[in-house]
Amino acid sequence: FYVLPLAWAVAYLFPPADFDASLILAVAQRWLEGERLYVDLVDVNPPLIFVLNLIPAAIAKLTGLSGPVVMVLCVLALIGAAFRLCLKLLSPALRDGGGTVRMALPPLLLFALIVFPGEMFCQREHLMLVVLFPYVMLAAARAAATPVPNGQRLTIALLAAIGFALKPYFLAIPVLIELFVLVRR
């Protein structure tokens, strides 16, 4: 169950890269070179996605690697971090049994984070999905009144805040999740 998502992840490293994600990366690369965002570089996207794309743009510039390859590697690293956070929260979130869920959820998470996005890989919707899963797992633990270490909660909250801030209407998701936690508690 782990082979397909991992093979799919390798396939994302080969051209062609997604047009929308590559365009945002190209704007970030030009911004890094000194052009002014929203003056020399006209785009309708809010600035946070360009700020995030400065990371792969800077790494590509420093290493000489292809920008799209570095962008995919950065997103795969984020997926790895989110997956690790989810695994740490598996027991607190599924406190009451769930043996089958404990076994099936990790490969399903990888499938949802790597295979399911398809052509949306590296786009804002995908980045939000990546940080959504640890946030949902934390919410499930909180709804069950299971203690989670403060450092883990803070890490998930910061990642979720960045992911949900990528598009204004993404903020409806944490509002609904928090309402669920409030009702459960």
The tens digit of pLDDT for each residue in 32-48 reads 999 999 999 988 888 99
Torsion on CA atoms 82, 84, 88, 91, rounded to nearest 10: 90
Question: How far is the C-alpha of 114 from the C-alpha of 183, rounded, in Å?
Answer: 32
pLDDT above 70 covers what percent of the chain? 98
Neighbouring-strand partners of residue 37: 41
Contacts 24+ apart (CB under 8 A), 174-182: 174/135, 177/135, 177/136, 177/139, 178/139, 180/139, 180/143, 181/139, 181/142, 181/143
Q: Is the pLDDT of residue 164 over 90?
A: yes
* Predicted TM-score of the model (pTM): 0.92
pLDDT in tens, 121-144: 999 999 999 999 999 999 999 988
On average, the pLDDT of the chain sits at 92
What digits encode the pLDDT tens for the residues 65-97? 999 999 999 999 999 999 999 999 987 777 666
User: What pLDDT score does 75 carry?
Assistant: 97
